[in-house]
Amino acid sequence: MDIISMRSISKDEITSLIDLAEKIEFRSIDINISDRLVALLFFEPSTRTAFSFDTAIKRLGGKTLLMQEAKSSSVQKGESFADTIKTVSQYVDAIVIRSAVEGAARYTSEIVDIPVINAGDGANQHPTQALLDLYTIKKRQGTVENRKVAIVGDLRYGRAVYSLVYGLAKFNVELYLISPEHLQIRPYVRDELDAMGITYHQGDDISSVLEEVDIMYVTRIQRERFAGQYEYEKVKDSYQITRDMIEACNLKENFTLMHPLPRVNEITTDVDSLPCAHYFQQAKNGVYMRQAVMATLLGAV
Amino acid sequence: MKELKVDAIKCGTVIDHIPPGKVFKVIDLLGINEDDQVMIGTNLGSPKFGRKDVIKIENRFLSDEEINSISLVARRASISIIEDFKPCKKSKIEIPDTLRGILVCPNRHCVTNNELIPTLFTVEQKEPLLVRCDYCERIFGDELHKCNSL
């Protein structure tokens, strides 16, 4: 089994990973992968995802080989991507790969005989992020089914967004897609949501949906996605969540504010101490979920 | 006696009713071998379509996959297998469920544009055509035609 895309993971598989993550978190299961070695191949720089995988594997007793950026590898000496991957696959029991190239993880899974986990491929997919997001929602809300979820920010280029949307769509949620016009989700994704019978609303105003939703998932709007500084400045503040804004609303009881991190200024730091702020817990859940993913793929459960 | 602008072949495949100007794209998609004897007619008169292109390939019989690969540029083309100067079998062109190795992915960040691997598209919708790249997972319609000069 590989974890490549949320499009190809079934609802049953997601549910069992969530159940396993929960057992791992609450120590009702003992998993040991001390005889296993996993390569973390990060062809694109990453701190938190690489650390999260590293932590997850080590907490299960396993060992890791970490490659950060292609600079440190023989790719720099002219070796092909495929040769690097095939060689590393001779040493380890599984590969976790991040690359700016879209489809790199799927290609990797085709050329090696060991499990492959996609840790982000360009603007395409970041499935373990979506899995940990779903675990966070399940923990906090009791269920993912029928939740009302707003996804805010850059919906066009964010891989976390695409993975999450495909994951949520399996649980019959209602989506609120909030973004500046030119950062709206790709039109074909909306067509797919239609085909799956998922209700969604599209808009550009956060405040109008805050009281409607159970979960608000905020993503970073990157400066480089705008034609100029002026356009960026104009939009940036209208996509910022502040403590005043939250306190002025009559939020749902279990309202949950999430963010895949890193945060720049989309959520002001004075929000962090509010009970709805769940993004650091979300990062912690990432370790439990990645433990569940590694244990499952390595056949340790 | 009937005048033939493109000579008849003894044995092989005739692809008729190709839209005018698309004959070279069809050749491209079929990957004509160096040894193939090929006759080409372009902008010929057609009672059915006004103008048409024709290809006749001597001693080559196309597989279903090859026939279907030209569906993207010549959906209404007719395929005839010729034996002893006579058509002995006609084939219909259908858009296949998958398209392997015959199109370029319009997404320049896709792994198929960065590594030496054949592209693979899953046909999501036939009319109008929508395909999904199995690697970068994006769905393409018109962009696919533009990028591949179809």
Find the CB nearest A103 among B112, B130, B139. B112
ipTM of the complex: 0.92
Identify the pLDDT of residue B65: 80
- Whether the ω angle into residue A262 lies within 30 degrees of 0, i.e. cis, is yes
Tell me which residue of B112, B115, B134 sits closest to A4, measured CA to CA: B134
Q: Looking at A118-127, A165-174, B44-53, B106-115, which range is the least confident one?
A: B44-53
Q: How deeply is B149 buried, as exposed, middle or buried, from its count of CB atoms within 10 A (0-12, 13-18, 19+)?
A: exposed
- Name the strands in the sheet holding B78-83, side by side, starting at the edge strand that comes first in the sequence: B37-46, B50-58, B12-18, B78-83, B86-91
pLDDT values of chain A reduced to their tens digit, one per residue, 301 residues: 999 999 999 999 999 999 999 999 999 999 999 999 999 999 998 889 999 999 999 999 999 999 987 665 566 667 889 999 999 999 999 999 999 999 999 999 999 999 999 999 999 999 999 999 999 999 999 999 999 999 999 999 889 999 999 999 999 999 999 999 889 999 999 999 999 999 999 999 999 999 999 999 999 987 777 778 887 887 777 789 999 999 999 999 999 999 999 998 899 999 999 999 999 999 999 999 999 999 999 999 9
Q: Look up A159 and say whether it is catalytic.
A: no
Is the Cβ–Cβ distance between A2 and A115 less than 8 Å? yes
Provide the terminal-to-terminal Cα distance of chain A, rounded to the nearest Å.
14
Is the Cβ–Cβ distance between A218 and A153 less than 8 Å? yes
Tens-place pLDDT, residues A130-171: 999 999 999 999 999 999 999 999 999 889 999 999 999 999
Rounded to the nearest angstrom, the minimum Cα separation between A177 and chain B is 19
Tell me which residue of A58, A62, A66 sits closest to A37, measured CA to CA: A62
Radius of gyration in angstroms for the set of CA atoms belonging to chain A, rounded to a whole number = 19
> Whole-angstrom Cα distance, residue A224 to residue A232?
9
User: Angle at the Cα of B125 (from A105 to B94), degrees rounded to 5?
Assistant: 105
Identify the pLDDT of residue A17: 98
Identify the pLDDT of residue A71: 62
Rounded to the nearest angstrom, the minimum Cα separation between A241 and chain B is 31
Is the Cβ–Cβ distance between A33 and A295 less than 8 Å? yes
- Give chain A's domains with CATH numbers: 6-125+286-297 (3.40.50.1370), 127-283 (3.40.50.1370)
**Which residue is catalytic, options A23, A36, A126, A140?**
A126
Largest Cα–Cα distance in chain A? 59
Q: Tell me, what DSSP letter sits at residue B73? A: T
**Which residue is catalytic, options A23, A98, A139, A170?**
A98
Neighbours of A34 (CB within 10 A): 9
Is the Cβ–Cβ distance between B69 and B30 less than 8 Å? yes
Q: How deeply is A78 buried, as exposed, middle or buried, from its count of CB atoms within 10 A (0-12, 13-18, 19+)?
A: exposed
Is there a contact between B137 and A82 if contact means CB atoms under 8 Å apart?
Answer: no
Rounded to the nearest angstrom, the minimum Cα separation between B93 and chain A is 27
Tell me which residue of A211, A214, A224 sits closest to A154, measured CA to CA: A224
Neighbours of A32 (CB within 10 A): 11
Find the CB nearest A122 among B109, B112, B133. B109
Which residues, in sequence order, are bridge partners of residue A256?
A215
